[in-house]
A and B are shown apart, each in its own frame.
Chain A
Amino acid sequence: MADKLVIGDQELDSRLFTGTGKFAKQDLIPETIKAARSQVVTMALRRVDFDSPQHNVINYIPDDCVLLPNTSGARTAEEAVRIARIAEAAGCGNWVKIEVISDNKYLLPDNQETLKATEILAKEGFVVLPYVSPDLMVAKRLEEAGAAAVMPLGAPIGSNRGLKTKELVRILIEEIELPIVVDAGIGKPSQAAEAMEMGADAVLVNTAIATAKDPVVMGDAFAAAVEAGRKAYLAGTGAVKKYASASSPLTGFLKEDQE
């Protein structure tokens, strides 16, 4: 049976979302996305710097990917809403990752402003994926507000520290009907697999891939880990026990009984 991830109007085969930030060269982006088999790719919107104009990063994202513009840079719900509307008007489709951050040290999201922005944008027909600190009550409100998924952080953005919020994310997976996409903090493929084994519906990885010595190979490694973790979740992992449990019959090699 096909194991698809359904978000908004899309049926996705890939459960690895990727970002386009921090690549040493933009040329690496298309090949890395391909190696990661990623179908959802996020990017940001900024004022053009006239002194060193960059190429539009959308030119580097394969055409068959779902674009997930994020509202990074927004400090309030109003700013996030404005960015989402601009991105849609610019032809990015109607998906948006809400990111509202005013804490510059840990870049932790402002859950309340994020909820406000989600309420407004979901009503306008956006497919809203809010980035939040894992909090059950906020996730429930997001669900009521019409979010398409919930994206809890594993650890602070770009920290590569792994699933530090594991228990809280586990509760979201258990209690929230919407897809849970673990976003931020995942530093290694094993940590992505850990999130998927636990039942996360997808993960979003940027820094760990983009800043690897070889982003293309790392993209492939993350894709394999996400697939492995997903399969393990579907297969159902065995029970954890305190004492040993032999995997061959408990008789002696030649004698009938063990001492």
Chain B
Amino acid sequence: MKITVNGKEEEVKAGLTIVDYLESKDLEAGRVVIEYNGQVIKQDKWEQIELAEDDNLEILNFVGGGQ
């Protein structure tokens, strides 16, 4: 099925949770912020959300910045 991650379309297996997806990308949980279909999702809910066709995932991170 197709989902959009950080603005790019991607083909993924059906039935993946957010946690599964992050693991597939070797991303450590706790290091990222997840916006799922326009809503920020707290980390304790990541395991419960199963990705579906046409979902939109933004995977964000706090980076150095000042001015």
Contact = CB atoms under 8 A, between A and B. Distances in A.
A46 B6 CA distance: 10
A158 interface: yes
A72 B65 contact: yes
Contact of B67 (A26, A53, A92, A131): A131
A44 B65 contact: yes
A54 interface: yes
Interface range on chain A (Cβ under 8 Å from partner): 35 or more
A210 to B, nearest CB: 7
A118 interface: no
A44 B62 contact: yes
Interface range on chain B (Cβ under 8 Å from partner): 20 to 34
Contact of B63 (A57, A86, A184): A57
Interface string B32-48: 11010000101000000
Interface stretch (A3-11, A17-25, A225-233, A237-245): A17-25
Contacts of B33: 45, 86, 89-90
B11 to A, nearest CB: 15
Given A70-B66, A87-B62, 18 more contacts: A20-B63, A20-B66, A21-B66, A42-B66, A47-B58, A48-B27, A48-B59, A48-B61, A56-B32, A57-B62, A57-B63, A58-B62, A72-B65, A90-B33, A90-B62, A153-B67, A205-B66, A206-B67
